[in-house]
Amino acid sequence: MTRMEKAARRATPQEIDLQFQYMKRVRDILSDGGPRLAWVVTYGCQQNEADSERISGMLQQMGYGRARAAEEADLIVVNTCAVRDHAEKRALSITGGYKHLKKAKPSLLIGLCGCMASKPEMSSRIRKSFPYIDFVFGTEMLWRLPEILYHVMTEEKRLFFPNAGDPVVAEGLPVERESPFRAWVSIMYGCNNFCTYCIVPYVRGGERSRAPADILAEARSLVEGGCKEITLLGQNVNSYGKYGDDGCDFAELLRRLAVLPGDFLLRFMTSHPKDATRELVDVMAAYPKIAKQFHLPVQSGSDRVLAAMNRRYTRDSYLSLVRYMRERMPDIVLTSDIIVGFPGETEEDFEDTLSILREARYDMVYSFLYSKRDGTPAAEMENQIPEEIKGERMARLLALQSEIALEKNLPLVGKTLRVLAEGRSRTSAEMFSGRTEGNKVVLFEGRDEMTGCFLPVRITRAAPFTLWGEVVE
Ligand code: SAH
Ligand code: SF4
Ligand code: F3S
């Protein structure tokens, strides 16, 4: 296949305009019946949070207000995740809980979207077993929500739109962001990597990148509007632009973003180690607006397991990149994802994972018990690991990582760090919470007007997952 054949199809201006026409039609329908409220529930990763902000933006444009709880909603949209079994079960059980709301208010519409709703098999299962779900749309269909909702409303029948293998890049649709000072900006969608455990490529479609000009325009307008932190999103940001024809790869995109005027920080996730280059590290080191923070999921420390996972890097090549990163940016905050109990993982393989934690010295690790996903190669592998062994390994991993995290946090005590204040802490309302440039959580005493500001905070105490400090006035 040539590069051009793999470039993403872009929704045409006519197609986007058609969605705006549907938004108007829905608005007209709603305007007859007084104010309408929508409730959007989101599971899964940042990509889903970003998608939900698009859904909310379109709903607002269609005349929906924001419900404060599911109970008062006229429309509920559940944006689901399929990455682990637990995530799917949770989404289905919460949706099951809405059944009684529909009994009380028969006009209530319930929609299911996101990764779990993308596979045609799942869509048929929902059609049969969840009669109270009115409509389903896959990730590739998200930009057509106005059209879908219009048809659901006017045809008065249940409608199902799983992915159909036609992913597009759609620009210019409305977005309603959760925060005025932190924003997600998707730079690419989908994934072509097919790690053997992972469902994402099957539910998010093929990899496709947005045009650099569209990303730059979005970032510029965010910063002009007072946004202080932009996180670029993609399943593998390092392959940004790979199938485009203008030669702007991820390192170049970062360069162009990092010179935009204004006081803001740039973050990005996720990076696949096989595609993270030294050039990317050099760009990070060179520009002060790029946060010195890197999420580089290793998944396992064993070469044998990495090969079975189809990760296409080795322990050595990974660690050599980490060494280079630390040479160029000694204070870099490094985080990772680990899967515990991949099929065939031996005690020795697992010890390799523990030893890579010691060598890479991560500030934070997100660890997951391997979960079998139908349709992925690893689900068919022999030697699935029993749950009790997975659990026992996980406990050892957490204990080790918590020691390392504390060792990494203790030297920060006494230092003054630049912290973006996020507002009152969700865990203790008297405290304010914020994040360091390395994305570590800091609790401190603050005032409401500090929200959304960069503040100098002197660190006074450290635990494995939290720092405490005081604002240096
Ligand atoms: N694109 C990103 C991550 C996407 S999913 C990347 O390549 O790193 C987020 C994390 O979920 C993965 O890094 C992996 O650690 C975990 N994960 C994915 N599939 C899983 C499965 N079947 N069981 C357990 N964890 C899984
Ligand atoms: Fe899944 Fe691998 Fe793609 Fe990440 S890179 S989304 S882990 S297939
Ligand atoms: Fe889940 Fe889909 Fe993200 S499967 S982790 S919401 S890409």
Domain boundaries along the sequence of the chain: 9-168, 175-410, 413-471
Class of the domain covering 9-168: alpha beta
- Residue 131, classified by CB atoms within 10 Å of its CB into exposed (0-12), middle (13-18) or buried (19+), is exposed
Q: Does 182 contact ligand 1 (Cβ within 6 A)?
A: no
Q: Does 205 contact ligand 3 (Cβ within 6 A)?
A: no
Q: Residue 97's closest CA among 68, 73, 120?
A: 73
**pTM for the whole structure:** 0.96
Are 49 and 183 spatial neighbours (Cβ–Cβ below 8 Å)?
Answer: no
Q: Which residues pair with 79 in a beta bridge?
A: 42, 113
The tokens describing 20, both together, are 């705006």
Give the span between the Cα atoms of 393 and 339, in whole angstroms.
11
Q: Does 373 contact ligand 3 (Cβ within 6 A)?
A: no
Q: How far is the CA of 350 from the centre of ligand 2 (A)?
A: 21
Ligand nearest to the CA of 46: 3
Q: Does 149 contact ligand 3 (Cβ within 6 A)?
A: no
Q: How far is the CA of 191 from the centre of ligand 1 (A)?
A: 12
- Measured from the Cα of 194, ligand 2's closest atom is 8
How, if at all, do strands 454-462 and 416-424 pair? antiparallel
User: Which amino acid is located at 414 in the chain?
Assistant: G
pLDDT per residue rounded down to tens, the chain (473 residues) = 333 345 678 999 999 999 999 999 999 999 977 779 999 999 999 999 999 999 999 999 999 999 999 999 999 999 999 999 999 999 999 999 999 999 999 999 999 999 999 998 988 899 999 999 999 999 999 999 999 999 999 998 999 999 999 899 999 999 999 999 999 999 999 999 999 999 999 999 999 999 999 999 999 999 999 999 999 999 999 999 987 777 899 999 999 999 999 999 999 999 999 999 999 999 999 999 999 999 999 999 999 999 999 999 999 999 999 999 999 999 999 999 999 999 999 999 999 999 999 999 999 999 999 999 999 999 999 999 999 999 999 999 999 999 999 999 999 999 999 999 999 998 877 899 999 999 999 999 999 999 999 999 999 999 999 999 999 98
DSSP code per residue over 175-191: ---S-SSEEEEE-EE--
Residues 6+ apart with CB under 8 A from 368: 84, 337, 338, 339, 340
Q: Does 142 contact ligand 3 (Cβ within 6 A)?
A: no
Ligand 2: which of 48, 115, 188, 193 to mutate, judged by most atoms within 8 Å of the beta carbon?
A: 193
Fold of 413-471: OB fold (Dihydrolipoamide Acetyltransferase, E2P) (2.40.50)
The residues lining ligand 2, judged by C-beta closer than 6 Å to any ligand atom, are 191, 193-195, 198, 200-201, 235-236, 272
Q: What does CATH list as the number for 175-410?
A: 3.80.30.20
Residue 431: other Cβ atoms inside 10 A = 15
Residues 6+ apart with CB under 8 A from 3: 243, 244, 245
